[in-house]
Structure 1
Amino acid sequence: MNDPIATLVFQAGRGEVDTVLVDGRVLKHRGEPLGIDLDRARTLAENSRDHLRTAIGGSPDHREVTSKGKAFWLEAR
């Protein structure tokens, strides 16, 4: 172990992070995110995913699966 601090930082998972401060604001405390609208974040991520799927010629209601170099679409569950 040449750099014990770097080893600790890079080997820790998000479960080991108790508190996160960014620009003086507490964003995570006691392991829980603060001030984040998770439903809105999920909706934005899903909308982005659907846009990208449509942009590459797929349907937003399907997901691409690659098997042996061939891509095909499966119904989303």
Structure 2
Amino acid sequence: MTKALVTVMPKAGVLDPQGKAIGHALGTLGFEGVGEVRTGKVIELELAEADPAKAKALAEEMARKLLANTVIESFRVELA
């Protein structure tokens, strides 16, 4: 078994209203010095593939086909 973590984030230039709301809320709570806030998601996959290179390629294919909207989101895959 191989565990893969897929991190999906909005691409640069894509509006992130949730990130803006979080940034504003942090400011109202007294947290200073917080710049831009971007939100995304992390998807943890447990894969039966034992070969790390094949597992990473499989997770990348899953991300391209379903987990990320590649028009407005980027993704990265890490094996844990």
Q: TM-score, normalised by structure 2?
A: 0.24
Larger Rg: 1
TM-score by length of 1: 0.24
Report 1 or 2 for greater relative contact order, CA contacts < 8 Å, sequence distance ≥ 6: 2
